[in-house]
C-alpha cells in the first residue's frame, strides 16, 4: 500500500490517499482542531444502473427500477438488528442516500470514532438479506414512493425529466415505482451488491482531526476478503434521441401557488474527466451570470412578482446525461416561462458580458474555498467528483482557465430553444394558456 500526500495550497488542505490491495481507494483530509469527524463510504452505483454486464458474466442483466435505492435501505438491516440503533448507542449520526449515479453511506461523530468507523465498514461490506425482510421493505419503500408522488416539489422535477428525456433512465424516479419494486428479490439484491459494491468501484473519505496512516490501516484491517473476477462494469443505456420528449408537462396538485421548472436538455454528453469538469465550471458561471441575484434577469422577474427568493437554477451533469433546471414558485408560470425564453434568446444574441464573467468567477472561487470549512461539503463533493474521474481540487484550475469565449460556446450549446421543456404544477387543475 502506497500512501500519497497531496497538498492543495489554494484551499489550504492536504489529502492523503491510498489504494488498498483489494482496490478500495481511501482518502483522509485531516482537519486539526475540528471536534467532529465525518466519513463517507460510497459506491459508483445509482438508480440509472439498471442494465449492466458484470465482470465475468456471460450476458447483461436488467434489474427493476429503484433497486439501488432499495439496496441502500437494506444495508442498515443485519441479523443482529438495525444498525441505526448501534450508531446511536455510540453517540453518532448515520445516514445514506442514493442519487442517479452513486450511493453513499455516512457517519458523523465527536466520540467513539474508531468504533463508528469499524461499524460503517462492517455495515457496507457485510450484506444480509432475507425473503421476509425484502417483502417487508417493499411496503415501507412503497409508502416512501407515494410520499414523493404527493410532494409537488418532487413531482415538478420528475415531470421535467420526463419532458426532457425519452429513453434514458434518469427520467425514472430514483426510488422506482410501486410496481417496479415488487419485482425485487433477495437474489437480485445480492447480484447487484456483488456487482457494484466491489472495493474497486468504491471509495471511502474521512475528514476531521485524524491521523491518516491510522485511519487507512484501520479500514484495511476491517475489509473482508474479496472473491470473484475484477474488471470494469459495463453500464448499458438505451439510445437517447437528441430531441426532447415533450415541450410541457402540466399537472394539478394541492398547491397554493403554482410551481414551474424550465429545463434544457444537454445533448453534449458521453465523456467525463477534465472535459466534464470544464463543462460543469462553465455551467456554474453561466447560471450565476444569467440568473444569479445580481443579474438583470433575476431583478426584473423579482420586481415584477414572478419569482421569490427561493427561485433557483442548477445543472446536473454526468457522463451520460445532463440538464439545467430553473424555477420555483410563481403566480404566473406561463408568463415566467415566456420571460425566461425571451431572456435566453437575448443572451444568445448578446453573449456573455466579460465584466460579469470575471465577477462571477471571483465569487465562485471564494465560495469553493469556503466550502471546505464544512466536513460534509468536502466529503460529498470529493466523492462525487472522483466518480466523474475528476479531482475536486482541480475545480479552481478549471475556473482559472475558463474564458468568456468558452462561456459563449457553452451558452449556445446548452440554451438551444429546441432543447427547452417546462414542468408546471398548478392548483386545482387550472389549464395552461395556449
The predicted structure's pLDDT at residue 2: 79
Model pTM? 0.94
Taking the C-alpha atoms of residue 311 and residue 287, their distance in angstroms, rounded to an integer, is: 12
Residues 133 and 196 in one domain: yes
Residues 184 and 278 in one domain: no
Residue 89 lies in a domain: yes
The total number of structural domains in the chain stands at: 2
Taking the C-alpha atoms of residue 315 and residue 324, their distance in angstroms, rounded to an integer, is: 4
Residue 241 lies in a domain: no
Where does the pLDDT of residue 227 fall: very low under 50, low under 70, confident under 90, or very high at 90 and above?
Answer: confident
Taking the C-alpha atoms of residue 289 and residue 340, their distance in angstroms, rounded to an integer, is: 14
The predicted structure's pLDDT at residue 428: 85
Give the structural domain span for 266.
Answer: 248-427
* Residue 429 pLDDT exceeds 70: no
* The domain boundary residue, chosen from 235, 262, 286: 235
Residue 124 lies in a domain: yes
| Per-residue pLDDT tens over the stretch 357-388 | 999 999 999 999 999 999 999 999 999 999 99
Residues 288 and 265 in one domain: yes
Residue with cell 442516500: 97
Residues 175 and 317 in one domain: no
Q: Are 318 and 100 in contact (CB under 8 A)?
A: yes
Residues 12 and 73 in one domain: yes
> Does the active-site annotation cover 72?
yes
Residues 261 and 223 in one domain: no
Residue 242 lies in a domain: no
Taking the C-alpha atoms of residue 127 and residue 74, their distance in angstroms, rounded to an integer, is: 8
User: 361-385 as b/e, with b when 16 or more CB fall inside 10 Å?
Assistant: beebbeebeeebeebebbbbbbbbb
Residues 197 and 311 in one domain: no
Which is catalytic among the residues 13, 19, 72, 329? 72
Q: Are 8 and 15 in contact (CB under 8 A)?
A: yes
* Residue 64 pLDDT exceeds 90: yes
Residue 192 lies in a domain: yes
Residues 230 and 265 in one domain: no
Q: Are 102 and 196 in contact (CB under 8 A)?
A: no
The predicted structure's pLDDT at residue 201: 96
Mean confidence (pLDDT) of the chain = 95
Residue 202 lies in a domain: yes
* The domain boundary residue, chosen from 178, 209, 235: 235
Residues 111 and 54 in one domain: yes
Residues 222 and 322 in one domain: no
* Residue 434 pLDDT exceeds 80: no
Q: What is the CATH number of the domain that holds 275?
A: 3.30.830.10
Strands annotated E in 71-185: 77-78, 81-82, 93-98, 103-109
* The domain boundary residue, chosen from 204, 235, 266: 235
Amino acid at each position: 500500500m502506497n500512501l500519497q500526500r497531496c497538498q492543495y495550497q489554494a484551499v489550504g488542505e492536504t489529502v492523503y490517499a491510498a489504494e488498498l490491495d483489494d482496490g478500495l481507494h481511501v482518502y483522509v483530509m485531516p482537519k486539526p482542531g475540528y471536534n467532529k469527524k465525518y466519513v463517507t463510504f460510497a459506491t459508483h452505483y445509482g438508480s440509472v444502473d439498471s442494465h449492466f454486464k458484470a465482470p465475468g458474466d456471460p450476458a447483461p442483466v436488467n434489474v427493476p427500477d429503484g433497486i439501488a435505492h432499495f439496496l441502500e435501505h437494506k444495508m442498515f438491516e443485519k441479523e443482529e438488528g438495525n444498525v441505526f440503533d448501534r450508531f446511536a448507542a455510540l453517540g453518532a449520526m448515520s445516514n445514506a442516500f442514493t442519487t442517479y449515479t452513486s450511493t453513499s453511506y455516512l457517519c458523523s461523530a465527536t466520540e467513539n470514532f474508531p468504533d463508528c468507523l469499524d461499524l460503517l465498514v462492517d455495515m457496507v461490506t457485510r450484506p444480509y438479506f432475507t425473503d421476509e425482510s425484502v417483502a417487508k421493505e417493499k411496503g415501507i419503500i412503497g409508502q416512501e414512493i407515494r410520499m414523493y408522488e404527493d410532494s409537488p416539489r418532487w413531482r415538478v422535477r420528475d415531470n421535467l425529466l420526463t419532458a426532457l428525456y425519452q429513453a434514458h433512465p434518469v427520467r425514472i424516479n430514483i426510488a422506482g415505482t410501486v410496481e417496479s419494486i415488487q419485482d425485487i428479490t433477495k437474489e437480485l439484491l445480492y447480484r447487484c451488491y456483488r456487482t457494484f459494491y466491489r472495493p474497486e468501484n468504491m471509495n471511502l473519505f474521512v475528514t476531521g482531526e485524524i491521523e491518516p496512516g491510522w485511519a487507512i490501516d484501520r479500514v484495511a484491517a476491517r475489509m473482508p476478503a474479496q472473491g470473484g473476477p475484477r474488471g470494469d462494469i459495463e453500464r448499458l443505456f438505451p439510445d437517447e434521441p437528441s430531441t426532447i420528449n415533450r415541450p410541457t408537462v402540466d399537472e394539478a396538485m394541492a398547491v397554493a401557488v403554482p410551481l414551474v421548472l424550465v429545463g434544457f436538455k444537454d445533448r453534449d454528453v458521453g465523456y467525463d474527466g477534465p472535459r466534464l469538469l470544464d463543462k460543469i465550471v462553465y455551467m456554474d458561471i453561466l447560471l450565476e451570470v444569467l440568473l444569479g441575484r445580481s443579474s438583470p434577469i433575476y431583478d426584473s422577474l423579482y420586481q415584477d412578482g414572478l419569482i421569490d427568493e427561493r427561485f433557483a437554477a442548477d445543472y446536473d451533469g454526468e457522463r451520460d446525461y445532463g440538464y439545467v433546471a430553473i424555477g420555483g414558485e410563481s403566480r404566473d408560470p406561463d408568463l415566467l416561462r415566456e420571460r425566461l425564453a425571451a431572456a435566453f434568446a437575448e443572451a444568445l444574441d448578446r453573449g456573455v458580458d466579460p465584466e460579469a464573467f470575471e465577477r462571477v468567477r471571483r465569487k465562485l472561487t471564494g465560495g469553493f474555498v469556503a466550502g471546505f470549512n464544512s466536513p460534509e461539503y468536502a466529503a460529498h463533493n470529493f466523492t462525487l467528483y472522483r466518480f466523474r474521474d475528476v479531482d475536486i481540487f482541480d475545480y479552481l484550475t478549471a475556473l482559472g482557465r475558463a474564458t468568456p469565449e468558452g462561456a459563449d460556446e457553452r451558452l449556445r450549446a446548452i440554451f438551444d430553444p429546441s432543447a427547452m421543456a417546462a414542468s408546471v404544477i398548478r392548483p386545482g387543475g387550472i389549464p395552461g394558456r395556449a
